[in-house]
Amino acid sequence: MFRRGFLILLMCLMLALVGCSNNGDGKATDQKPDTLVIGLGGDAVSLDPAEVTDSVSENVSQSILETLVTFTEGKTKVEPLLAKEWTESDDGLSYTFTLQEGVQFHDGTPFNAEAVVYNFERWMNADEDKFFMYGSVFGGYEGDENHVIESVEAVDEHTVKFTLKYPKPTFLKDLALTPFSISSPEAIEEHGEEYGSNTVGTGPFTFEEWKRKNRVTLNKNEDYWVDGHPKLDQVIFRIIPDNSNRLNALKSGEIHLMDGLNPENIDEIEQSENFKVFSRPSLNLGYLGFNVEREPFDDKLVRQALNHAVDKEAIIKAFFAGQAEPAKNPIPPVIQGYNDEIEAYPHDPKKAKELLKEAGYPDGFKMELWAMPVARPYMPDANKVAESIQSDLEKIGVKAEIVSYEWATYLDKVKEGEADSFILGWTGTNGDADDFIYNLWHEDNIGSLNSTRYANDELNRLLSEARTITDQDKRDKLYKRAQEIMHEDPPIVPLVHATPALAGRADLKGFDPHPTGRIITTEISFE
């Protein structure tokens, strides 16, 4: 009897130390309080953000790698990070950065000016298919006529000088973008083509393990250069594609923070004392894109017709629970240069039919409508939205077959021009119109970010000019004209600007729901 009682007591003590699975209130007693588990809607493509454009890859790598400068909390104003200060020449053609001292990469090698030079030369001298974000942001690669960076040189161990060929008004904001995070040169040389699965940076967490389509595990950087940070010992990114399943994982205590909270679940989370909602400012666009090189989408009358056919208000009411506004332009209203004088295409099936008849399709046509397989802030459930669009198009005689693929395959196929039409979106990175319109619709980006394969000579000229002047009033005029062009000759149906919602445990603190969509874990902890 004594032995049995002793064993029961011992088991209870062990359970108390290890923790039970959960207690039904969302507080995960099986997780150490110094471990944060984040639920994401899709897997990363690579942990080297220089070679990808998807937000999941960036959100994971942001805990491993760091940029020279970063954005302030909640805003797109630039502040120091690996560079502690900088000066800009009067003509806007040179920037000199003083770097933080005593910083090391996770492999023990020093972060210094030579490492910065190595990374930029790696990007600018690579094949354009490898680092297309670099080419998109900086006007091409070494030797290209529009490549803005003349040189990057190490003045001394902790000083780097960038010399530009022409003024670039967004240069500092560009350096804050995650794809331009600084990696360990020795790690890049060691791992070669496999570096994207073996990333080494200066960030608050070090890479531990990546189980594809399951989780990415990061451990605390014990030698992190910012005193008292990070607050946690471990961060785990769990891959849970379905929003509802992700919410259930939050409630059961399997995860502590989730992206892609369905709008219809917001009230439930807000009314719970165990959880809270984090809302990001709207700096995004969800859209239906057309491959303008394919018939019948090479005819702007057809694209205009489909703009009239889609009922955006119905989509927002059904799938966003009011947490979005209908889009009429390719940039959100919060961005400087937004053209509010443009009149949105009204939902008008009759007008849509007239335009189709004028284009030579009085009986409509058949098409494929590709739907993203993952949730994104600008599109929490692409398949349901696709079904709504499918219904709208059927009313004007257009029969759309919904198609989907695994996320990485979906992105590759859309980029290569294999889709008739597709649902995609963009979350702004630096708060500038250039980040949306140039990246997604300049002819130079066909085959990378310009998945519509749209090419308009006047638009190209305006966007290129806006990249070379620092007068913001003049830039605003150029971007307003660009929006007029894209309204009259639309490569897309702008659908929504969403207010993305995340959900987390009520005792979570230090998380910044940044408008760019980034997830920075340095300050996060539990009360």
Q: Tokens for 310, please give them.
A: 């889609």
Report the CATH number at residue 461: 3.10.105.10
- Report yes or no on 54 lying in a domain: no
- Report yes or no on 51 lying in a domain: no
- Report yes or no on 320 lying in a domain: yes
256 to each of 37, 72, 165, 507, 512, how far by Cα in Å? 5, 24, 47, 10, 15
Number of compact structural domains in the chain = 3
Please tell me whether residues 494 and 386 are part of one structural domain: yes
3-state secondary structure (DSSP) of residue 155? strand
Please tell me whether residues 375 and 274 are part of one structural domain: no
Please determine, for residue 31, whether its predicted confidence score (pLDDT) is greater than 90.
no
DSSP secondary structure code for residue 281 in this structure:
-
Please tell me whether residues 340 and 373 are part of one structural domain: yes
- Report yes or no on 5 lying in a domain: no
Please tell me whether residues 413 and 393 are part of one structural domain: yes
Q: Given pLDDT bands bounded at 50, 70 and 90, which one contains residue 428?
A: confident
- Between strands 78-80 and 69-71, the pairing is antiparallel
Report the CATH number at residue 136: 3.40.190.10
Give the whole-angstrom CA distance, residue 328 versus residue 168: 28
Please tell me whether residues 265 and 351 are part of one structural domain: no
Give residue for tokens 């639920």: 39
Q: Tokens for 502, please give them.
A: 């995340």
Please tell me whether residues 289 and 368 are part of one structural domain: yes
Q: Tokens for 517, please give them.
A: 């969509």
Domain end (from 188, 223, 245): 188
- Report yes or no on 197 lying in a domain: no
pLDDT in tens, 94-136: 999 999 999 999 999 999 999 999 999 999 998 777 898 999 8
Please tell me whether residues 490 and 511 are part of one structural domain: no
Please determine, for residue 334, whether its predicted confidence score (pLDDT) is greater than 70.
yes
Give the range among 85-89, 220-224, 466-470 with minimum mean pLDDT: 466-470
Give the whole-angstrom CA distance, residue 194 versus residue 30: 34
Q: Which amino acid is present at 510?
A: G
CA 250, 251, 252, 256 torsion-angle sign: positive
For all residues of the chain together, what is the average pLDDT? Answer: 91
E strand or H helix that includes residue 40: strand 35-40
Please tell me whether residues 214 and 183 are part of one structural domain: no
Q: Given pLDDT bands bounded at 50, 70 and 90, which one contains residue 9?
A: very low
- Report yes or no on 376 lying in a domain: yes
Sheet with strand 215-220: strands edge to edge = 205-211, 215-220, 234-239, 35-40, 257-258, 501-505, 275-279
DSSP secondary structure code for residue 279 in this structure:
E
Average pLDDT value for residue range 280-306: 96
Please tell me whether residues 93 and 230 are part of one structural domain: no
pLDDT in tens, 471-518: 889 999 999 999 999 999 999 999 999 988 899 999 999 999 998 889
Contacts of 202 (CB under 8 A, 6+ apart): 65, 66, 82, 103, 104, 105, 106, 111, 182, 225
E strand or H helix that includes residue 498: strand 492-498
47 to each of 225, 239, 282, 335, how far by Cα in Å? 21, 14, 26, 29
Give the range among 169-173, 260-264, 276-280, 389-393 with minimum mean pLDDT: 260-264
Please tell me whether residues 216 and 234 are part of one structural domain: yes
- pLDDT for 84 equals 98
DSSP secondary structure code for residue 72 in this structure:
P
Instruction: Report percent pLDDT > 70 for the chain.
Output: 94
Domain end (from 161, 188, 215): 188
Q: Return the closest-CA partner of residue 62 out of 216, 178, 177, 172.
A: 178
Please determine, for residue 17, whether its predicted confidence score (pLDDT) is greater than 80.
no
Please determine, for residue 52, whether its predicted confidence score (pLDDT) is greater than 60.
yes
Average pLDDT value for residue range 255-259: 96
Give the whole-angstrom CA distance, residue 513 versus residue 520: 9
- Between strands 35-40 and 257-258, the pairing is parallel
Residues in a beta bridge with 278? 502
CA 512, 518, 519, 522 torsion-angle sign: negative
DSSP secondary structure code for residue 124 in this structure:
H
Q: Return the closest-CA partner of residue 472 out of 251, 131, 170.
A: 170
Give the whole-angstrom CA distance, residue 502 versus residue 246: 11
- Report yes or no on 23 lying in a domain: no
Q: Given pLDDT bands bounded at 50, 70 and 90, which one contains residue 281?
A: confident
- pLDDT for 2 equals 38
Please tell me whether residues 463 and 513 are part of one structural domain: no
pLDDT in tens, 131-178: 989 998 999 999 999 999 999 999 999 999 999 999 999 999 999 999
Domain end (from 127, 161, 188): 188
DSSP secondary structure code for residue 19 in this structure:
-
Please tell me whether residues 247 and 301 are part of one structural domain: no
What DSSP letter does each residue of 321-370 carry, written as one string?
A: TT-EEE--SSS-TTSTT--TTSPPPP--HHHHHHHHHHHT-TT--EEEEE
Please determine, for residue 8, whether its predicted confidence score (pLDDT) is greater than 60.
no
Judge whether 158 and 83 are in contact, CB under 8 Å: no
Contacts of 108 (CB under 8 A, 6+ apart): none
Measured at the alpha carbon of residue 191, what is the angle toward residues 206 and 180, in degrees to the nearest 5?
60
Average pLDDT value for residue range 354-363: 98
- Between strands 215-220 and 234-239, the pairing is antiparallel
Q: Given pLDDT bands bounded at 50, 70 and 90, which one contains residue 33?
A: low
- Report yes or no on 276 lying in a domain: yes
- pLDDT for 158 equals 98
Range of the domain at 509: 30-46+203-280+501-526
Give the whole-angstrom CA distance, residue 69 versus residue 86: 10
Give residue for tokens 């049995």: 4
Q: Given pLDDT bands bounded at 50, 70 and 90, which one contains residue 321?
A: confident
